Amino acid sequence: GTLSEIKERGKLIIGTEPTFPPFEYVDKDNNIVGFDIDIAKKIAEELGVELEIVNLPFDSLIPAIMSDKIDLIIAGMTITKERAKVIDFSIPYFNANQSIVVRKGESFSPKSLNELVGKRVAVQLGTTGDLVVSDIKRIKITRFQKFTDAFLELQNKRVDAVVLDEAVARAYVKKFPKFEVSTVIDTGEKYGIGVKKENTELLEFVNKVISNLFKSPYDVLVEKWF
């Protein structure tokens, strides 16, 4: 919805896919929490409305915003040319790269995407990880809706590696030390919040909230008094 529709409704509805720690994941009390969720809370707070979080498969987020089921996509989503044809993105709020995760202590420890040729690789459907491996011929790709399922597949030795965003890979490896990051692939990605095209007022509002997040309390004081 537009800025005024959201205020009238008294609720901001964001869409996310919560198997992506520390950006969005389900905690032990079954709440969706994380870095992105705190940004969403901040936007709702600044708007003076409640926050509703809709849990969707990653590849359903863009269709959902286009059909007005959600107001914003906050899902560690990389700003890409293809996606920017159909939705608008906020200013970038996080830098990211892809990485390869394998079972720890085994001989297979690829240092480049090319070493995945002939191997079985799990990715999340529709992500940039999916794109980078799909670009290389003769990788056997299994595409999952949930990263939790991709890692289960790795644990059960039905795939040899999982390719995903580095910060998220680190979070999984920390939680499950049976996995390790074998290498980082420098893809130079930037995350943005997705907004429906032409929804300019909302986009500008979101940009304002993000740029304020980058300001130190000192910057805020200077801006207030000078």
Interface contacts to ligand ARG, rule CB under 6 A: 16-17, 19-20, 24, 58, 75-78, 96, 124, 127-128, 165
Whichever of 89 and 205 has its CB closer to ligand ARG, that residue is 89
> What is the smallest separation between the CB atom of 73 and ligand ARG, expressed in angstroms?
9
In the complex with ligand ARG, which residue's Cβ is closer, 58 or 93? 58
Contact in structure between 139 and 145 (CB atoms under 8 Å): no
Q: Choose between 128 and 182: whose C-beta lies nearer to ligand ARG.
A: 128
**Nearer to ligand ARG by C-beta: 12 or 96?**
96
Q: Looking at beta carbons only, is 73 or 159 nearer to ligand ARG? A: 73
We find the least distance from the C-beta atom of residue 219 to ligand ARG, in angstroms, to be 28
Q: How far is the CB of 138 from ligand ARG (least distance, A)?
A: 23
Q: What is the CA radius of gyration of the chain?
A: 19
Q: Smallest gap, in angstroms, from Cβ of residue 31 to ligand ARG?
A: 16
In angstroms, how far apart are the furthest CA atoms of the chain? 62
- Residue 91 CB, shortest distance to ligand ARG, in Å, is 16
